A and B are shown apart, each in its own frame.
Chain A
């Protein structure tokens, strides 16, 4: 087990979830964070993307996040190396992006990217922490490197129907705050070899029951856990994503 100062985290998405999770991890003493995000700062997202401000509009999030997270770590006396990758993770590139990292924090905003990350993480033997949020609801799930429940165990596959996305429905700041912080907690647990953190997943209803812990199933029909997914195939994600509504950043 590496110390936190030796740990290398891949932050896929530096938006609402990634801002919060990144801030906490930077202040917790993580040694390296690579930020992958192709988007630019938009005024309409600032209520939830706490790393940025109005003056940052139009600038790339990855480089800004790298700078801000390093500064946050410094405030706590930590030394954080950051790497900014202003690219879009796709099946052909995600394996290279993951290489050299000890954990992935996935805060993308579409199912294709989430399932692609889950598959690539398991194939690379790297734990991943996922989360999703729309309006006042969300969820979070940690998945260990080699075994146990994964995203496909819980949600099976990219929906072919039309679930809501934050691009269409919006998401409120406190919801990504709660779930981003939960992602950071799960990340620290997984980096600390606390694999039991993956036995449950979390559903959050800000206007209802709050945060609920649910049993993460060992799904005998999961193609990823059964080893049926052995390579990153672009068609697997494109075909499924085309059956859903368009996704956006």
Chain B
């Protein structure tokens, strides 16, 4: 099952510079686990020690924030896009 994952610039050091990668899984959690196999270190940047999504990371399934779906258990299907959107504070 091919899921497109959009990678923000700060994490592309872990994805060989790619802004989009493909992963497989039927839930967001499985997609992240699959990402970790191919791009070691990525899961640690997304999830905390307890396995939850880090506070400064928002993950979207298509246009929906997974916090308001089933969080990491949100079901994904072929053709879905997962976007990783980090909170950042600069711009001054």
Contact = CB atoms under 8 A, between A and B. Distances in A.
Partners in one complex: yes
Given A160-B55, A217-B68, A133 B87 contact: no
Contact-residue bracket for chain B: 20 to 34
Contacts of B58: 154-155
Nearest to A212: B83
Interface stretch (A14-22, A68-76, A190-198, A223-231): A14-22
A163 B92 contact: no
Contacts of A79: none
Interface in B66-92: 67-68, 83, 85-92
A156 interface: yes
A187 to B, nearest CB: 15
A65 to B, nearest CB: 12
B90 A134 contact: yes
A214 interface: yes
Interface in A149-166: 154-157, 159-161, 163-166
Interface string A212-239: 1111010100000000000000000000
A207 B8 CA distance: 9
Given A179-B91, A203-B85, A137 B56 contact: no
Contacts of B8: 137, 205, 208
A165 B63 contact: no
B91 A156 contact: no
A190 B60 CA distance: 26
B54 interface: yes
B87 A249 contact: no
A167 B90 contact: yes
Closest 9 CB pairs of A and B: A166-B90, A109-B92, A15-B92, A133-B91, A159-B56, A208-B19, A134-B88, A163-B56, A134-B90
B80 to A, nearest CB: 15
B90 A159 contact: no
B38 interface: no
A18 B92 CA distance: 7
B34 interface: no
Interface of B: 6-10, 19-20, 48, 54-56, 58, 60, 63-65, 67-68, 83, 85-92
A98 B46 CA distance: 36
A132 B6 contact: no
Contacts of A161: 48, 54-56
A139 B89 contact: no
18 contacts: A15-B91, A109-B91, A109-B92, A110-B89, A111-B89, A132-B90, A134-B90, A137-B88, A139-B87, A154-B58, A161-B48, A161-B55, A163-B56, A166-B92, A167-B90, A179-B91, A215-B65, A219-B68
B65 A163 contact: no
Given A155-B55, A163-B56, A214-B63, 8 more contacts: A13-B92, A107-B91, A108-B89, A134-B90, A139-B88, A169-B10, A208-B7, A214-B85
A176 B91 contact: yes
A185 interface: no
A85 interface: no
